[in-house]
């Protein structure tokens, strides 16, 4: 039986087979991204099952992130678009669960983030387009103009790192960097000085210069330098002050540094 281009086969194990057929239709492109599925009543008739069975199958597909449900007269079930942003959301949700139940810890996430951001910067130096560089420069300019304690700073930091990944022209890498950076949220965890904020912005600018110059080795070096500095900022202030000869810049003013 067909409807709106959707071809289905009779089912013997209702919920599982309805879900499997709809999943296959989505993953093979038979149902396109953004396309609206037939109504529950129409699907029930097509599959020869109850509306309750259809509802259960659709609920499972929502949980899998394959479809979304919109209420209202013009609503319904829609195939979700799956670009880097959507994939990042799914990764981030899964990692948050792993952290919550204790099957992963924050150090694991930070370590993998470093593994991802170094090659992302190298690829960006090779593949970045003028518009990518312009976007990165806009972000750095906004960071320079913002006070480090402003609410916009964490968002600008995420935008900077995800923009580098996007310039790599690798959609999976872009999604992973976005997800890992969203989970680590380094900016929200650091209460430091204005000097720390200025220095991290300078490091961001140096990374952009290397990408703009098309120099992957320099881009890697500047990213490694930046990540090492950020890791140091995560240490307790007293330790850093001692390392600076008891006269270091211990946190005192409640400002927030960039990551």
Q: What is the CATH number of the domain that holds 25?
A: 1.10.10.10
Q: Are residues 73 and 133 in the same domain?
A: no
Average pLDDT estimate for 164-171: 95
- Residue 187 banded pLDDT, cuts 50, 70, 90: low
- Residue 241 banded pLDDT, cuts 50, 70, 90: very low
pLDDT for the residue numbered 189: 54
Question: Helices marked H in 102-170 — which ranges?
Answer: 106-127, 130-145, 152-167
Domain that holds residue 107: 84-256
pLDDT at 251 over 50: no
Provide the 3-class DSSP secondary structure of residue 33: coil
Q: Which of 34, 59, 79 is the last residue of a domain?
A: 79
Q: What is the distance between the alpha carbons of residues 145 and 65, in angstroms, rounded to a whole number?
A: 38
Q: What is the pTM of this model?
A: 0.66
pLDDT at 141 over 60: yes
Q: Are residues 40 and 91 in the same domain?
A: no
Q: What is the distance between the alpha carbons of residues 8 and 45, in angstroms, rounded to a whole number?
A: 11
pLDDT for the residue numbered 110: 77
pLDDT at 256 over 70: no
CATH code where residue 204 lies: 1.20.120.530
| Number of domains comprising the chain | 2
Q: How many C-alpha atoms does 238 have within 13 Å on its Cβ side?
A: 0
pLDDT for the residue numbered 228: 87
pLDDT for the residue numbered 211: 98
């Amino acid at each position: 039986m067909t409807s709106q281009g959707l071809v289905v086969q009779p089912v013997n194990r209702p919920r599982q087979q309805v879900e499997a057929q709809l999943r296959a239709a989505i993953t093979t492109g038979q149902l396109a991204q953004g396309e609206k599925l037939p109504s529950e009543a129409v699907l029930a008739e097509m599959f020869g099952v109850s509306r309750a069975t259809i509802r259960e199958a659709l609920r499972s597909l929502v949980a899998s992130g394959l479809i979304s449900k919109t209420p209202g007269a013009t609503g319904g079930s829609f195939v979700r678009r799956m670009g880097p942003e959507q994939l990042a959301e799914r990764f981030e949700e899964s990692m948050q669960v792993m952290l919550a139940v204790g099957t992963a810890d924050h150090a694991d996430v930070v370590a993998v983030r470093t593994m991802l951001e170094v090659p992302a910067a190298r690829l960006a130096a090779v593949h970045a387009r003028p518009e990518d560089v312009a976007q990165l420069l806009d972000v750095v300019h906004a960071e320079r103009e913002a006070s480090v304690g402003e609410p916009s700073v964490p968002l600008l930091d995420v935008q900077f790192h995800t923009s580098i990944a996007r310039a790599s022209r690798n959609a999976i890498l872009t999604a992973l960097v976005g997800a890992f950076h969203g989970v680590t949220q380094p900016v929200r965890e650091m209460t430091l000085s204005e000097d720390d904020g200025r220095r991290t912005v300078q490091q961001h600018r140096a990374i952009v210069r290397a990408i703009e110059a098309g120099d992957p080795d320099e881009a890697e070096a500047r990213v490694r330098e930046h990540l090492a500095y950020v890791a140091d900022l995560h240490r307790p202030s007293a330790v850093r002050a001692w390392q600076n000869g008891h006269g270091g810049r211990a946190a005192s003013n409640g400002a927030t540094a960039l990551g």
